[in-house]
Amino acid sequence: MLSLTLVLLVSAACEASTDLYVSETPLPPELVRSAVSPVPTPAGSPYTAEEYGHPGIALARSADEPASATDSGESSHHHGGGYKIVQWEWSYVQTPYIIAIWLLVASVAKILFHFSQRFTTVVPESCMLILLGLVLGGIVLMANKKQLYQLDPGLFFLFLLPTIVGDAGYFMPARLFFDNLGAILMYAVVGTLWNAFCTGFCLYGVKLAGVIDDKVEAGLMEFLLFGALISAVDPVAVLAVFEEVHVNEMLFIIVFGESLLNDAVTVVLYKVYISFVEVGPGNVQTADYFKGVASFLIVSIGGTLVGLIFAVILAFVTRFTKKVRIIEPLFVFLLVYLAYLTAELFSLSAILSMTFCGIGCNKYVEANISQKSRTTVKYTMKTLASIAETIIFIFLGISAVDKSKWAWDTGLISCTLIFIFVFRAIGVVGQTWVLNWFRLVPLDKIDQVVMSYGGLRGAVAFALVVLLDGEQVKAKDYFVATTIVVVFFTVMFQGLTIKPLVKWLKVPRSTNRKPTINEEIHERAFDHILTAVEDIAGLNGYHHWRDKWEQFDKNYLSKLLMRKSVYRKSELWEAYQKINIRDAISVIDQGGNVLTSARLSLPSMASRTSFPEVTNVTNYLRENGSGVCLDLQVIDTVPGAKMEEETEMHRALAGNLYKPRKRYQSHYSRHFMTVGEKEKQDREIFQRNMRTRLENFKSTRYKRHKKDRSQKKRKGSDAKEQESSDKPRRNVSWQDKDPVVVPVEFENEKNEQSEPEKDEDVGITFVARKAPETPKERPKSVPAALDVCQSPAIVPPSPTCGEKNLPWKSGVGTLPPCVSVEATKIIPIDLQQAWNQSISSLESLASPPVPLEPQHPRVSALSRLGGPPRPLSTGSVPAPPVTGQFQFPGGKDEEEESALSQQQQEIQPLMSSTRPPPPPPPLPAQPAGKRRNPCVYLRSLVTASPPGSEPHSRGPTQL
């Protein structure tokens, strides 16, 4: 058998395998050495040695001569009794170590296979893994004269199989699955029964005829048992092979669905026959057959029910994980796995249970959990399934290299091979013929050929046959050998040839194409049409029942299992957003700029055409990639066109560029994720919107030419913004992220504000009152009602920090009205609740929330500390429009324009710097200005602000 292995290896000579073989060959001497005599191994090699070394020997070594190991370590060692600095703790880490090493080997093997693109397109990975397993098995065998590893059924059924089935079930395309459920069930139940009985009986017949050697001591029951376990199509093998073949979805789902659902049949047949074998064929009574049938019903239906129950539990649990997003994925894994274990516990069909749990919960869970959790679930499941599959195939290979399993009987093996192939083909053709009477989309000849050929046997059969009791089933060794050969033949030979076959037969391939929004819409419409037509024609067909189910789902299940916030979301809308995001990503991938190209490529968003001027400037700047930096340190005292331009640019950038992001935030909470960058950006966008809204409001005072439609539209978009505010706006398309002006009235804003944004709300409620004196007292005199219902404050331009501090920049610039928001924003996330509470408690008092109104931090900081160490003091900086040398035409115009307006005169900006230096503000100066703060010194000012001056405890600043 070993020579066979080598022959196989050589015949399949290829880069990967030879590579591997070469790389493994140097090991044996070391292995032998390390296993036989525990000499200290060179520093570099202990890992590889341990990998193959017998655990027991290693253990002994670690017990006897712990000191010897220290040689390999580089640390100094003191011999003799007493304290040892370095100890060899192999026995302590042995089990996890071996597991980890095996996983590593499997993973590295995968990497190696995929080095050669050309090669992997021809040879399926599963074949390569089995070959690798054979090689590794051979090495272990040569080293130890005995096979140490094999695919342990316990390990397989409890750990490896569930990961694969869980992945398959959870990501099963539900619609496709249920569309073809009839065919799948037919093949899974009838087909498997047919295969099992025919194979069993025919093998028995062949045995009677004398083709099978007499050494194979097996009667009818044994052969039926063997037929049962060998006849089931294996999900692992099917998945591994078909994933690379890419046949069309329908064909795939039928074969794969069959391989999953036939589990119940296999389990029952297996158990029934084992009990028959135990009591002896003669003692089987008629009642036992009926018990078998009943058992089948219980195992299959019970398994399905257990799965569905767990699906409901899982979906229901994820409804309430909003606060513990971080363990959301864990719930998914745990409950899906528990579905499997529970079914095993009651000896029901575990695969069926897990599959239906996955299918059932997917829709609700995906809707409930966050985007990040979805990604986590997806990748973790895929990783686990992939590694489990790899391990399974490697271990299948290793298990084959075992002297105890070499009970070869040519007659049995060849007959089995022939029978399973022939009966599979006959079964498929016969069942398809029946099915095609009922199917809307008939399965044609080519489909039948692929289905027959795709009936792969795999690890399930192997694990089942290994589980047989050698005492009861005398021919166990023969069965094991036969099973191994059958598995290898189907996986390797059929797996290798199915690709060319599919190509040759021109089987329609699956297109990995995502549906367009048109298709999404029209297909939904088609569903409704077909349902209606079925109703009109009086046919209670498939669409009728599907529609009934959807109604039920919508009216009851979704209500029960989905969060309220997501329940209201439509699938079509989700699809739309997915498509949008995909587009945006592809735009970015092509090197485009979302802000510009998204708008260019989506001209249909005509309703958003009225971008504010500033945004266009920004876009213009970005488009041209001009090297404008925020930090205009160059002091150019000559006022002129250039200056004006620069100032404008500066303001545009300061107002519209997003904050530079901190790449890595240090956060130490294990239980909460800090607010993601995205969320921050969302807030920034929100602030931006608010500001532009205010600006717009201002401008509409002059010219009331706003288009009603666009206004309405934006209102909607705003509502949406709030709707998705509990999730960090993952669904919002890129266009929405543009700093769109949202000229919504404040009242709307107020009413629509959803809870999570309350804090921001409070921050924004600053109302500029008519030019009062001290900003500190003024807000308190404002009735709360006014705050809420007042039209938005108009904030005339006031200098940005840079402008204030650079002497040539004065008298211009808009102080964004969102400063206070920023102040709020800086509250660390874990203090936000306290913050909210304090705010609400304040609100409940007679005094309006305005007192919280933070002073513009910069202003306050500056004032407190006696102004910046610059030629211009704070007081004089903002000196309205006309301050000779620092005046800019543009800024002046703006100022004058605003000065013209009456509102402007009435409502002075809260933070208007014309005011005398204010006393310490109610809130500490927050580093609000860091976004456009080119002056480093400000930071120190800001952080130096006295912490005791605020009424509410606030967290440390984020600076």
Partner 1 sequence: MGSTASTLSKIPDVETLMQETGFTPAHMVRLYDRFKALDKERKGHLCPQDFGAIKELAENPIGDRIVGAFFSQGQETLDFHSFVRILAHFRPVDKDRPRDPNVPEPINSRSNKLKFAFQLYDQDKDGKISRAELLQVLRAMLEMQVTEEQLESIADRTIQEADLDRDEAISFDEFRKSLEKVNIDHKMSIRFLR
> Does residue number 434 form part of the binding site for partner 1 (CB under 8 A)?
no
For residues 294 and 441, which CB has a smaller minimum distance to partner 1 in the complex? 441
Token pair 């007493």 in the structure block, residue: 82
CA distances from 786 to 527, 777, 779, 847 (A): 52, 16, 11, 12
The secondary structure of residue 460, as a DSSP letter, is H
Hey, CA dihedral for 245, 249, 252, 256, is it positive or negative? positive
> Does residue number 534 form part of the binding site for partner 1 (CB under 8 A)?
yes
Choose the stretch contacting partner 1; rule: CB under 8 A; options: 19-27, 132-140, 525-533, 660-668. Answer: 525-533
Choose the stretch contacting partner 1; rule: CB under 8 A; options: 40-48, 65-73, 147-155, 510-518. Answer: 510-518
The nearest distance, CB 523 to partner 1, in angstroms, is: 6
Hey, CA dihedral for 824, 828, 832, 835, is it positive or negative? negative
Choose the stretch contacting partner 1; rule: CB under 8 A; options: 139-147, 323-331, 588-596, 599-607. Answer: 599-607
Task: Kindly tell me which residue out of 14, 429, 530, 673 binds partner 1, with binding defined by CB under 8 A.
Answer: 530
What are the φ and ψ backbone dihedral angles of 914, each rounded to 5 degrees?
-65, -20
For residues 217 and 523, which CB has a smaller minimum distance to partner 1 in the complex? 523
3-state secondary structure of 509: strand
Task: Compute the CA torsion angle 265, 269, 271, 273 (nearest 10 deg).
Answer: 180
Task: Kindly tell me which residue out of 118, 323, 506, 513 binds partner 1, with binding defined by CB under 8 A.
Answer: 513
Task: Compute the CA torsion angle 669, 671, 673, 674 (nearest 10 deg).
Answer: -40
> Does residue number 579 form part of the binding site for partner 1 (CB under 8 A)?
yes
Task: Kindly tell me which residue out of 287, 537, 641, 846 binds partner 1, with binding defined by CB under 8 A.
Answer: 537
Q: Give me the 602-621 binding string for partner 1, x by CB under 8 A, dash otherwise.
A: xxxxxx--------------
Tell me the two tokens of residue 321: 């994980």
The single-letter code of the amino acid at 892 is K
Choose the stretch contacting partner 1; rule: CB under 8 A; options: 201-209, 282-290, 511-519, 739-747. Answer: 511-519
> Does residue number 286 form part of the binding site for partner 1 (CB under 8 A)?
no
Task: Kindly tell me which residue out of 580, 619, 805, 820 binds partner 1, with binding defined by CB under 8 A.
Answer: 580
The nearest distance, CB 718 to partner 1, in angstroms, is: 9
The nearest distance, CB 562 to partner 1, in angstroms, is: 12
Distance CA(11)–CA(102), nearest Å, equals 26
Of residues 358 through 387, those in contact with partner 1 by CB under 8 A are: none
> Does residue number 578 form part of the binding site for partner 1 (CB under 8 A)?
no
> Does residue number 271 form part of the binding site for partner 1 (CB under 8 A)?
no
Task: Kindly tell me which residue out of 65, 535, 648, 726 binds partner 1, with binding defined by CB under 8 A.
Answer: 535
For residues 13 and 440, which CB has a smaller minimum distance to partner 1 in the complex? 440
Q: What is the 3 state secondary structure string of 157-180?
A: HHHHHHHHHHHHHHCCCHHHHHHC
Task: Kindly tell me which residue out of 121, 375, 410, 516 binds partner 1, with binding defined by CB under 8 A.
Answer: 516
Q: Give the long-range contacts of residues 292-298, CB within 8 A, separation 24 or more.
A: 292/268, 295/268, 295/271, 296/264, 296/265, 296/268, 298/348
Distance CA(266)–CA(247), nearest Å, equals 26
Token pair 């229901």 in the structure block, residue: 316
The nearest distance, CB 515 to partner 1, in angstroms, is: 8
Task: Kindly tell me which residue out of 76, 512, 518, 885 binds partner 1, with binding defined by CB under 8 A.
Answer: 518
Of residues 709 through 748, those in contact with partner 1 by CB under 8 A are: 713, 715-717, 719-720, 723, 733
The nearest distance, CB 789 to partner 1, in angstroms, is: 24
The number of C-alpha atoms within 13 Å of 234 and in the hemisphere containing its C-beta is 26
Indicate left, alpha or beta for 882 from its phi (over 0: left) and psi (-120 to 50: alpha).
beta
What are the φ and ψ backbone dihedral angles of 907, each rounded to 5 degrees?
-95, 105
Choose the stretch contacting partner 1; rule: CB under 8 A; options: 262-270, 272-280, 520-528, 866-874. Answer: 520-528
Q: List beta partners, residue 247.
A: 509
For residues 533 and 560, which CB has a smaller minimum distance to partner 1 in the complex? 533
The nearest distance, CB 580 to partner 1, in angstroms, is: 7
The nearest distance, CB 441 to partner 1, in angstroms, is: 5
Transcribe 130-167 into DSSP letters: HHHHHHHHHHHHHHHSS------HHHIIIIIHHHHHHH
3-state secondary structure of 215: coil
Number of residues that bind partner 1 (CB under 8 A): 59
Tell me the two tokens of residue 16: 């990967």
Distance CA(167)–CA(601), nearest Å, equals 37
Task: Kindly tell me which residue out of 84, 246, 474, 569 binds partner 1, with binding defined by CB under 8 A.
Answer: 569
The nearest distance, CB 438 to partner 1, in angstroms, is: 7
The alpha carbon of 808 is separated from its chain's Cα centroid by a whole number of angstroms, namely 51
> Does residue number 523 form part of the binding site for partner 1 (CB under 8 A)?
yes
Task: Kindly tell me which residue out of 4, 418, 525, 600 binds partner 1, with binding defined by CB under 8 A.
Answer: 525
Tell me the two tokens of residue 720: 């949406």
Tell me the two tokens of residue 704: 């009331």
For residues 735 and 814, which CB has a smaller minimum distance to partner 1 in the complex? 735
Length of the chain, in residues: 959
> Does residue number 572 form part of the binding site for partner 1 (CB under 8 A)?
yes
The nearest distance, CB 199 to partner 1, in angstroms, is: 34
Helices (H) then strands (E): counts for the chain: 48, 0
For residues 569 and 678, which CB has a smaller minimum distance to partner 1 in the complex? 569
Choose the stretch contacting partner 1; rule: CB under 8 A; options: 373-381, 390-398, 436-444, 772-780. Answer: 436-444
Indicate left, alpha or beta for 803 from its phi (over 0: left) and psi (-120 to 50: alpha).
alpha
> Does residue number 438 form part of the binding site for partner 1 (CB under 8 A)?
yes
Task: Kindly tell me which residue out of 43, 93, 208, 529 binds partner 1, with binding defined by CB under 8 A.
Answer: 529
> Does residue number 533 form part of the binding site for partner 1 (CB under 8 A)?
yes
Q: Give the long-range contacts of residues 67-75, CB within 8 A, separation 24 or more.
A: 68/38, 68/39, 68/40, 69/40, 71/40, 72/40, 72/41, 72/42, 72/43, 72/46, 73/43, 74/43
Q: Going by C-beta distance under 8 Å and a sequence separation of 6 or more, which residues neighbour residue 493?
A: none
The secondary structure of residue 404, as a DSSP letter, is G
Choose the stretch contacting partner 1; rule: CB under 8 A; options: 162-170, 229-237, 523-531, 927-935. Answer: 523-531
The nearest distance, CB 7 to partner 1, in angstroms, is: 47
The nearest distance, CB 582 to partner 1, in angstroms, is: 12
Of residues 98 through 127, those in contact with partner 1 by CB under 8 A are: none
10 Å CB burial of residue 230 (0-12, 13-18, 19+) is buried
For residues 71 and 535, which CB has a smaller minimum distance to partner 1 in the complex? 535
The secondary structure of residue 744, as a DSSP letter, is -
Tell me the two tokens of residue 14: 């290829």
The nearest distance, CB 941 to partner 1, in angstroms, is: 44
The nearest distance, CB 522 to partner 1, in angstroms, is: 6
> Does residue number 433 form part of the binding site for partner 1 (CB under 8 A)?
no
For residues 148 and 176, which CB has a smaller minimum distance to partner 1 in the complex? 176
> Does residue number 439 form part of the binding site for partner 1 (CB under 8 A)?
yes
Token pair 């397993």 in the structure block, residue: 133
Q: Going by C-beta distance under 8 Å and a sequence separation of 6 or more, which residues neighbour residue 771?
A: 906, 908, 912
The nearest distance, CB 173 to partner 1, in angstroms, is: 15
Q: Give me the 539-568 binding string for partner 1, x by CB under 8 A, dash otherwise.
A: x-xxxx--x---x----------------x
Residues 910/859, Cβ–Cβ less than 8 Å:
no
Q: What angle do CA 572, 574, 579 make, to 5 degrees?
A: 95
Choose the stretch contacting partner 1; rule: CB under 8 A; options: 276-284, 311-319, 434-442, 822-830. Answer: 434-442
Instruction: Name the site residues for partner 1 (rule: CB under 8 A).
Output: 437-442, 444, 511, 513, 516-519, 521-526, 528-539, 541-544, 547, 551, 568-570, 572-573, 576, 579-580, 602-607, 713, 715-717, 719-720, 723, 733
